[in-house]
A and B are shown apart, each in its own frame.
Chain A
Amino acid sequence: MRFSRRNGKKGNYAYTVARVKAKKSLLMANEDYDKMLMMTVPEISRYISEAGYDKEMADLAGRLSGLNLLEHATYMNMAKVFSSILKSSTGELYDMVSAYLDKWDIWNLKVILRGKSYNLDAESIREDLVPAGRLDTESLDRLVALDIDEDIISEFGRMAHVKIPADVIAAYKASGNLGEIEDFLDKAHYERLIQSINPASRPSNIFRNYVKEEVDLKNFETILKLKAEGIHGDQVMKYMISGGKRIDDKLLTHLANAEVMESVMSEVSQLEFGEEIKDLLESKDIRGAVSRLKRFEMQKAKKFSHLYPLSVIPVIDYMINKENEVRNIRAIARGTQSGLDRETIKGLLVVQ
Chain B
Amino acid sequence: MVDEGTGLIAIGAGLAVGLTGLGAGMAEKDVGAAAVGAITEDPSIFGKAMIFMVLPETIVIFGLVIAIMAIFVMGG
A interface residue numbers (CB < 8 A to B) = 12-19, 21-23, 88, 310
Contact = CB atoms under 8 A, between A and B. Distances in A.
B41 A17 contact: no
**From A16, A19, A23, A88, residue with most partner B Cβ within 10 Å:** A19
A18 B42 contact: no
A12 B33 contact: yes
Contacts, number: 34
A14 B34 contact: yes
Interface string B30-60: 1101111110111000000000000000000
Interface residues on B, range: 10 to 19
Contact of A14 (B30, B40, B42): B30
B50 to A, nearest CB: 14
30 contacts: A12-B33, A13-B30, A14-B30, A14-B31, A14-B34, A14-B37, A15-B33, A15-B34, A15-B36, A15-B37, A16-B37, A17-B34, A17-B37, A18-B35, A18-B36, A18-B37, A18-B38, A18-B41, A19-B37, A19-B38, A19-B40, A19-B41, A21-B38, A22-B37, A22-B38, A22-B41, A22-B42, A23-B41, A88-B37, A310-B30
A16 B30 CA distance: 11
Contacts of A23: 41
Q: Which 6 A-B pairs have the closest CB atoms?
A: A18-B37, A22-B41, A18-B34, A14-B33, A15-B33, A14-B30
Nearest to B38: A18
Contacts of B34: 14-15, 17-18
A143 B36 CA distance: 37
Contacts of B35: 18
A19 B42 CA distance: 9
Contacts of B42: 22
